[in-house]
Structure 1
Amino acid sequence: MNATNPELELAREFLATTDCNIFLTGKAGTGKTTFLKNLRKRSPKRMVVTAPTGVAAINAGGVTLHSFFQLPFSPFVPGSEAFSQGNRRKFRKEKVNIIKSLDLLVIDEISMVRSDMLDGVDSVLRQYRRSSLPFGGVQLLMIGDLHQLAPVVRENEWRLLSQYYDSPYFFSSNSLRKTEFYTIELQHIYRQSDKKFIDLLNKVRDNNLDESSLQELNRRYLPDTSSAEKEGFITLCTHNRNADDINSARLNSLITPTRRFEAEIVGDFPEHTYPTSALLELKEGAQVMFVRNDSSPEKLYFNGKIGKILHIRGEEILVKCPGDTEPITVSPETWENIEYKLDEENGEIKENRIGEFEQYPLKLAWAITIHKSQGLTFNHAIIDARAAFAHGQVYVALSRCRTLEGLILSSPLSGSAIKSDPAIARFTRESRKSRPNRKLLERAAIRYQQRLLLECFTFDKLRYLLGRFTGLVKGNSNIIHLAGITDIQELQQTCFTEICTVGENFGRQLQGLFREDILPTNDKVIVERINKASDYFGEKLKSLLLAPIDRLSIETDNKELGKRLRKLHKQVKEEGSVKVAAVAVCGHGFSPAAYLRALSAAELNFQKKKEKKQTPFYTEEDITHPELFQTIRQWRTDRAKKDNIAPFQILHQKTLVQIVMHLPETQAALLKIKGIGKVLAERYGEDILAMVRTYRQKHGIQSPTLPEPGGQEKSNKPKKEKPVKKNTIDLTLELFNTGLTVPEIAEKRELVSSTIHRHLAQCIELGKIRIEQLMPPEKIKIIIEAIEKAETPS
């Protein structure tokens, strides 16, 4: 599709090579859903797909905005107390890691997302990515059509929100307005091919319907639709109750027996996201609609295809669709509910299946709501838009049809039924004035690379953290004991001078070298400069910052102060590690994708290192040698009095506990204990070791037995393995491998022989069986010859 569609190709390149936010829009049937499907397969960026409703999220293969960002359903008012509390919501570590690694956020069905909800997303992203940029620097792809379904905003909510927003639509988001944001409108319509019908739909969409066009549409009005209802037409209604009443009445009018099919639900799959009924009640003769595309290679049906149930035999349902020569054998399909997980090995965002819904991909289809028809395509439809209550409803209903001839109106349309919103008209006019093009794309790609390079060699955050840390240490020097560094101020000054200030100067140099007509990655001068800078800053960060800060240990009896110092100490080390990874990317050229991955991988690796403790860490509750504990504590008290200092300045209580538990006998063993540095070991090591040796000799301890910290024992219970669920093809294959014939398998499984043949054909394609097991050589030869002579690849 992209090869012949310039707008889709432009959208793909904007997403791949820039950080611009994109609103991908277009009339119904222009390929927005297909574009998203292809993007998920091919995008180099780490992405998460979201949607405003559960069903839309399942259809898009993503998650809901509310669940991923833990947004409240109430209005999200900027600056309010509720807004601040929303920002402070606790996210699981896994979710935070995903947010930190995110390059691209996709929001499908953006027309239904309120402006305040988008600002809520912005607040979460900025908080957890620790970035002041809108949306924390994450790129947005928003997909949808503003002329279709609108956001739900109650009157009392809008009274509150209207003080902060021009309109309830996403484009009025305060955060989005601060970004570089382009609208790409798809032009080519794939669903309809009749130019006359397309022109009529466009006039409805733009609320530009003149009298003659209205008359043309109303020629499709049929006062008595009963004859059409019998010919496989589906009725599109404005309200759920109307559709339910029609479906129930038509089902009850059939004299064939009712069959009930219960869905199999595994794991987490909320009811509001069910793609069809969990308890399907069907009859032979019922009109049904497929609710997903056929996952088999034959592609016999698509989402929205309508047919009639010919036969229900055992667990097999045969559906005959208009225009098809053969009925379709329908088997249960499985929908997946996913959550996103971060693969800590490679930093990629993976989709993790948390629930399954297995059911026949059917629903009763004499009627459906216009809302639920969005995204579907019908050959024949009766449209009941008398009670249209929201803008876009009539357009959604009409645009579901392939042709004007396949459309019937159950009541005439009036001009007042075709509602439009002035805010949308204004936004559409403005966005069409500044349509993105190749020149804009090239400039945006250049700016994107320039911004990333300047960010790479900017050390403002490091300067800030190191300044706060040093200030806190010097301001409380009388109650803090430092080991590993002689002068923290000297370390700060050296880093400021040789890293931060040099980084500022280098940034100014880069800005002077940047050109508006060439990508930095294609500029030999830039590439040479950043290669050299990579070596310089990498070495300085490691030797001047990370090595000494890693040796540093801090002890104080002030718990609150200790907590603040440890947090800042960790942040300085983390920022230094991330910066080392960032500048390393510039050592052999530069790639935006590699740079972004290096940043998130460095953060993840730092967290993993923090989690791995070299030795178990014990508390006073764990002490198994209380006699030694009292001996060393008394020695510490006496020594402190003698030296006129506080006891913690000799040995912190936590360190004392570790000594008592590990019972070190040598200087090397003592240095392995957390909290013991070279200075402390040289000053007090011999005294401590003498007390430990005496205690071990007295009690005959050869080597200490170390318990689990906190008295916890690791569970040795074996994990229960989940039973592997076999699909219908594998069940057929198992029976075939036992030597049963096709008719015997069909009888045993209560299926028709054609279904078994289809299963076995797929097994041949997958390499699970050989074609010779099903067919004699002479027939295979005839088929091969026919394929070679065929003019089409079908």
Structure 2
Amino acid sequence: MADNKELDLAWDFVTQTNRTLFLTGKAGTGKTTFLHKLKQKSNKRMVIVAPTGVAAINAKGVTIHSFFQLPFGPILPDADVANNSAFNRKFSKTKINIIKSLDLLVIDEISMVRADLLDGIDKTLRRFKNKQLVFGGVQLLMIGDLQQLSPVVKDNDWRLLQPYYKNAFFFSSRAFQECYPITVELKHIYRQENPLFITILNEIRNNNLTASSAAELNKRYDPDFNPKTEEGYISLTTHNSKANTINQSKLKALKSKSYNYEAVITGNFPEHSYPNDIDLELKVGAQVMFIKNDSTTDKRFFNGKIGRVVDLSKSKVTVRCPGDTEDIITGVETWENIKYNLDAKTKAIAEEKIGSFSQIPLRLAWSITIHKSQGLTFERAIIDAEDAFAHGQTYVALSRCKSLEGLVLKSKIESKQIISDHNVISFNKRAEENAPDSDQLLQSKGQYQLDLIAEIFEFYSVLHPINRLLDIYYKNRNRIEGVVEPLLLKLKEDATHLIKVSTSFKTQLKTLQTEGETPENNKAIQERFTKAIEYFKVQIEDLLVVPLKSFAFTTDNKSVEQDLNKTLDVLEEFLTVKTFYFKEIKTTFTTKHFLDLRVKAVFLLNKGAKKERKSVIDGTVHVDLFEDLRILRNQIAERNSLVHFQVFSQKSLYAMCESLPTSLEELKAIEGMGKTRVEKYGTAIISVIRSYCEDNDIETTDANNLLENDSKKRKKGDTKLISLDLFKSGKSIDQIALERELNVNTVFGHLADFISTGEVAVTDLMSKAHYKELLALIPAKTFDNLSDLKHQLDDKFSYGELRLVLNQLESD
């Protein structure tokens, strides 16, 4: 295929730009070969899909419906994606990562793809990749010939789709109209060499068969033609029933012994994708066709090669083909059904075999349907197109033949057999008038590189999560504690500043772009790019990353908490990717380097575990008390089968930490703490607060009624001694807490005070393993408070254990 300018142009558009491309051409122009080369040599992360199971197996890809999990019925373009079950099906994490990291989507046999199906692909790609860009920003390569097989649309389906589409072809889809595609038509025909035959085929293809060409073609009309067995003619018909009848009658007429070959199917291989009969019956003398290329290095046969069976055994079939000097002995060949997966080490998109179909690669070939002949090449064929009923059917049949001389017509070719769709003719005419050239290729390469650079410095997306956080806060300000609004407003202001600078930078790059030169080769652009990397690397860290680390909030409302955390995840993921780009791009821009980084960024986000956010506001003075009261609240709630805020609210929790009530009367004064709550939970709450105050030498109210039914005033320190006495009597910390209606951490703290006196050992309160582990872990951590430290460590360590080891480290 050397010196083919259309193939070279298509290759460069696919590999060096992000333009959506429709690669078309007459039968035998090399479309399938182009796809195989692309699969072997392209550096882009790609997936191949096709509209039918057989087409997918032949293209070594997967079906559109299975990969995108789309329904088989009509997909209405105005359907609400968010509430449409067709677009809310659960995707595996692996498939989501494949889509997120995808550069190129190849759709083979695009002529059979309906407009609504292509729009469904667009919606799914937007869902997982980039909602703002057509096809989610993924480049599309669509391969096919509109003059061949057309999409199948039932009348009922078309009644639903007709209000939205001019016709059922893929080029009528909304996504296709939006993506500004280009069409490259392959002109050089490798299958046929006779100029007269090529002219006739072109006229049929374009629905303008001249009288002279029709006369020349119909010279091949011979209704009574009866070929000799060794000549290897195959009959092409319009209907399955006709082909089957011919094949079975010819096979039955043979007097030789029948051999049956049963297919072996493993794993997942759906019936509609079977490439051959499950039970294949053959006889010596049967005319057969190879339906697969030879998998050995000898390449003795190809898909469509005709021959005659000369010998049979249980596992082998010997075939003699016209013109060959040697017979072909073939055994079982295997077709594989694949799914796309990710390589565990490299994260490359890999094909994983999920099923196989093994069978002798032969089919009875006295006759075959025109539909099944698509993509095949025949030396000699008998065409029966009298009952042609579909667009392009006659053209497909005639174009299977390599020469006019090898063609026999069972019925004359009349205009009624040449069925062409005016929509296709119009589309092909426009595509031909707007065919791209080398200048457009250079321009597209330059724009592609500018688009990738713009992606690196795109900051507009950061505004959405910031605005969303503000919106959640404004709607729920009475439920959220923390200094939220000032921080978010400052983030928004600084993000807007970065957007303005990046917009100015991108405009400057366009002015530096020179004709005939891509950004990669433009010295002025590369210098500005390097300076921009250095500038934004510092700015994003100082203006966005560092300030966001100080963001903290608490709320009793789980739904609000979930919305805030989900939006914070989006914001942090955006900043993680940007920081990664600016760190990894040291100097100049290259397309390959950035595409590699973009893929790594997808998996970088997957590596990091979800961040455990601070539940304590940095401005809270009594952080440890906050945690003790929060734990007490959760314990009471769990014990009484309540939701935590039913014990006391977040607002009440903060008020307690600010005013430190040490009597039941003072506790009643806290907003949200009514008489009933104080009666139920007051004793435990006051005990925690008093214990905290004692531990931290905080002066407390000299109240005679710590408990309303107490007649004695407790002396300072008595409460700890009581816990110690109970502990020495053999009771566990949990038992003491339950008996005294205290928080477990409070009892733990009581006993910890006696470590210095030697009355309690450290390992009485925690395991030796935890103690040794924390002695090693804590000095290596940087933390603002106990809560911050807790979030950085494993959940197996309690707050009490952390306090104990911290005290030990401080005393050492």
TM over 0.5: yes
CA shift for structure 1 position 423 = 0.9
Matches within 5 A, 1:389-428: 389-428=389-428
For residue 660 of structure 2, what is the aligned residue in structure 1? Answer: 642
Check the 8 A contact 1:320/1:328 in 2, yes or no.
Answer: yes
Counterpart position of 1:314: 314
For CA contacts below 8 A with separation 6 or more, give which structure has more relative contact order: 1
Deviation at 1:466, TM superposition (A): 2.2
The separation in 1 between residues aligned to 2:531 and 2:344, in whole angstroms, is: 30
- The aligned counterpart of 1:247 is 247
1:291 aligns with 2:291: yes
In the alignment, structure 1 residue 68 sits paired with structure 2 residue 67 = yes
Contact 1:541 1:580 in 2 (8 A): yes
The CA deviation at 1:333 is: 1.1
CA distance in 2, matches of 1:591, 1:645: 61
8 Å contact 1:534–1:583 — kept in the other structure?
yes
* TM-aligned CA deviation for residue 351 of structure 1: 1.4
- Hey, what's the Cα distance between the residues in 2 that align with 1:658 and 1:328? 84
Distance 1:684 1:342, change over 3 A: closer
Mark the CA change 1:231 to 1:364 in structure 2 (over 3 Å): closer, same or farther.
same
Distance 1:657 1:586, change over 3 A: farther
Q: Per the alignment, in what secondary structure is the counterpart of residue 351 of structure 1?
A: strand
| Partners of 2:259 and 2:314 within 8 A in 1 | no
Change (3 A) 1:328 1:482: farther
Aligned length: 673
Give the drift of 1:668.
Answer: 6.5
1:189 aligns with 2:189: yes
For 1:492 and 1:595, the matched residues in 2 are separated by: 27
Look up the equivalent residue of 1:445 and give its one-letter code. Answer: K
Tell me how far apart the structure 2 counterparts of residues 95 and 292 of structure 1 sit (CA, whole Å).
30
- Give the superposition deviation at 1:401: 0.7
Q: 1:646 to 1:409 in 2, by over 3 A?
A: farther
Kept after mapping to 1: 8 A contact 2:340/2:349 = yes
Counterpart of 2:641 in structure 1 is none
What CA distance in whole angstroms lies between the structure 1 residues aligned with 2:516 and 2:766?
A: 64
1: CA distance between counterparts of 2:790 and 2:287? Answer: 88
Report whether the alignment pairs 1:223 with 2:223: yes
For 2:138, the equivalent position in structure 1 comes to 138
Query: Is this contact kept in 2: 1:463–1:500, CA < 8 A?
Result: no
Per the alignment, in what secondary structure is the counterpart of residue 376 of structure 2?
coil
CA distance in 1, matches of 2:244, 2:745: 70
Q: Say whether residues 1:10 and 2:3 are aligned partners.
A: no
Aligned residue number for residue 732 of structure 2? none
1:64-463 equivalences in 2 (<5 Å): 64-80=63-79, 84-228=84-228, 231-343=231-343, 345-463=345-463
CA distance in 2 between counterparts of 1:80 and 1:302 reads 45
For 2:608, what is the secondary structure of its paired residue? helix
Query: Secondary structure, in 3 states, of the residue corresponding to 1:350?
Result: strand
Q: Over alpha carbons, which structure has the higher Rg?
A: 2
Give the Cα–Cα distance (whole angstroms) in 2 for the partners of residues 103 and 408 of structure 1.
46
Unaligned 5+ runs, structure 1: 615-627, 697-794
**Residue 23 of structure 1 aligns to a residue in which SS?**
strand
- C-alpha displacement of 1:4: 1.4
Q: Residue type matched to 1:546 in 2?
A: V
Distance (whole Å) between structure 2 residues aligned to residue 682 and residue 298 of structure 1: 68
Q: Compute the displacement of 1:326 (Å).
A: 1.3
Aligned to 2:39: 40
Verify the 8 A CA contact 1:246 1:366 in the aligned structure 2.
Answer: yes
Cα deviation digits, residues 252-311 of structure 1 (max 9, x gap): 111222111111211111111111112211112111110011111111101000111111
Alpha-carbon distance between aligned partners in 2 of 1:670 and 1:214, rounded to the nearest angstrom:
91
After superposition, the C-alpha distances for 1:448-479 in whole angstroms (9 at most, x for unaligned) are: 11222223212011122123224534664553
Question: Is 1:524 paired with 2:523?
Answer: yes
The one-letter amino acid paired with 1:607 is N
Q: Distance in 1 between matches of 2:745 and 2:192?
A: 75
> Does the residue aligned with 1:251 lie in a helix, a strand or coil?
helix
Give 1:224 shift.
1.4
Task: Encode CA deviations 1:607-635: one digit per residue, 9 max, x unaligned.
Answer: 22127999xxxxxxxxxxxxx97699579
Q: 1:158 deviation in Å?
A: 2.3
CA distance in 1, matches of 2:633, 2:383: 90
Instruction: Provide Cα deviations, 1:364-395, integer angstroms capped at 9, x if missing partner.
Output: 11111100000000111111111100011111
Cα 1:498–1:134, aligned 2, differ >3 Å: closer, same or farther? closer
Report Cα offsets for 1:224-260 as digits up to 9, x if no partner.
Answer: 1333567321111111111111111111111222111
Per the alignment, in what secondary structure is the counterpart of residue 231 of structure 2? coil
Alignment of 1:577-656 (within 5 A): 577-584=576-583, 586-610=585-609, 633=635, 642=660, 644=670
Say if 2:287 and 2:306, in contact at 8 Å, map to a contact too: yes
Letter in 2 for 1:297: T
Distance 1:135 1:631, change over 3 A: closer
Amino acid at match of 1:568: T
Alpha-carbon distance, 1:185 to partner: 0.8
Q: CA deviation at 1:572?
A: 0.8
Aligned partner of 2:507 in structure 1 is 508
Counterpart CA distance in 2 for 1:646 and 1:478 is 13
Matched AA of 1:356: S
Aligned to 2:570: 571
Q: What's the TM-score once normalised by structure 2's chain length?
A: 0.76
Q: Distance in 1 between matches of 2:431 and 2:143?
A: 15
1:715 match: none
TM superposition shift of 1:529? 1.1
Query: How far, CA to CA, are the matches of 1:97 and 1:136 in structure 2?
Result: 13
Work out whether residues 101 and 600 of structure 1, in 8 Å CA contact, stay in contact via their aligned partners in 2.
yes
Is the Cα contact below 8 Å between 1:265 and 1:356 reproduced in 2? yes
Distance 1:51 1:497, change over 3 A: closer
Single out whichever of 578-587 and 45-54 deviates more from structure 2: 578-587
- What is the root-mean-square deviation of aligned Cα atoms in Å? 3.6
Note the C-alpha offset of 1:134: 1.1
Report how far residue 141 of structure 1 moved.
0.8
Equivalent residue of 2:220, what SS? coil
Q: Is the 8 A contact 2:290 2:304 kept in 1?
A: yes
Shift of 1:692: 5.1
> What is the CA–CA distance in structure 1 between the aligned matches of 2:314 and 2:301, rounded to whole Å?
21
Question: Over residues 470-527 of structure 1, what are the superposed CA-to-partner deviations in whole Å (9 max), with x where a residue is unaligned?
Answer: 45346645533559x9963375156426634432333333344333442111111111
Q: Secondary structure at the match of 2:120?
A: helix
SS of equivalent residue, structure 2 residue 323: coil
| Partner SS state of residue 4, structure 1 | coil
Kept in 2, the 8 Å contact 1:585–1:594? The answer is: no
Q: Give a deviation string over 1:549-608, Cα, whole Å, max 9, x none.
A: 356554322110011011011111100111223344653211233323322321221122
Distance across 2 between alignment mates of 1:632 and 1:407: 85
Uncovered stretches (5+) of structure 2, i.e. residues with no partner: 614-629, 638-646, 662-669, 674-684, 690-742, 749-764, 792-796, 806-812
Q: State the TM-score, normalizing by the size of structure 1.
A: 0.78
